[in-house]
Amino acid sequence: MQDSLLVTGGAGFIGSCFVRDWLAGSPGRVVNLDKLTYAGCLDSLADARTDARHVFVQGDICSGDLVRDLLAQHRPRAIVHFAAESHVDRSIDGPDAFLQTNINGTHELLKAALIYWRSLAGEEHERFRFLYVNTDEIYGSAGPVEFFTEQTTIKPNSPIRRPRRRRGIWSGRINIPTGCRR
């Protein structure tokens, strides 16, 4: 298995920062899948686009065939899932896009990841990870020195998402490097 990642939403604000930071600190490849909706900005990837280790694919996470093909072709050790519709005001004006991307798209990624993971053996099977990254609208805010764990209670900041409280899904915190462009 190569030292590569499949990053979804890697042309968005947080995703593009992650892609640039990964390329600056790792010899591995990034396969960057982004639909380039209102949130995607190729200018944020100007440095990465000239790096041979950055493979940009314009496409939709809702396309299970595309995701399965990318996994089979590039054999990443992890999927880092940033792709999402965001901004609460947009969810009120156009909830269908949120359901399609955030729920159906994540579901397609998880299905493709499961098929791929089951095809792996030994250490590759054990090492593979699916990391879902989101904002405080989903997880809530951490204190200045607090880190999220699997036991952290989700405390969403969006009033639309407050009625249900769930146990933590994500463990850890991503520190966004300075100099992120948008």
**Dist. CA 145–CA 27, nearest whole Å:** 30
Distances from the Cα of 112 to the Cα of 67, 125, 155, angstroms: 7, 14, 29
Mean pLDDT check: name the lowest of 1-10, 14-23, 34-43, 148-157. Answer: 148-157
pTM: 0.79
Q: Is 63 exposed, middle or buried (0-12, 13-18, 19+ CB in 10 A)?
A: middle
- The strand pair at 29-34 and 4-8 is best described as parallel
Identity at 171, one-letter amino acid code: S
State residue 8 phi and psi, 5-degree precision. Answer: -100, 145
Place of tokens 């994540």: 106
- Give pLDDT tens digits for 89-145: 677 777 888 888 888 999 999 999 999 999 999 999 999 999 988 766 666 677 776
Structural domains in the chain plus CATH codes: 4-135 (3.40.50.720)
- Give pLDDT tens digits for 46-90: 989 899 999 999 999 999 999 999 999 999 999 999 998 776 667
- Give pLDDT tens digits for 142-180: 777 677 777 777 666 655 544 444 444 333 444 444 444
- Token readout for 44 is 């944020």
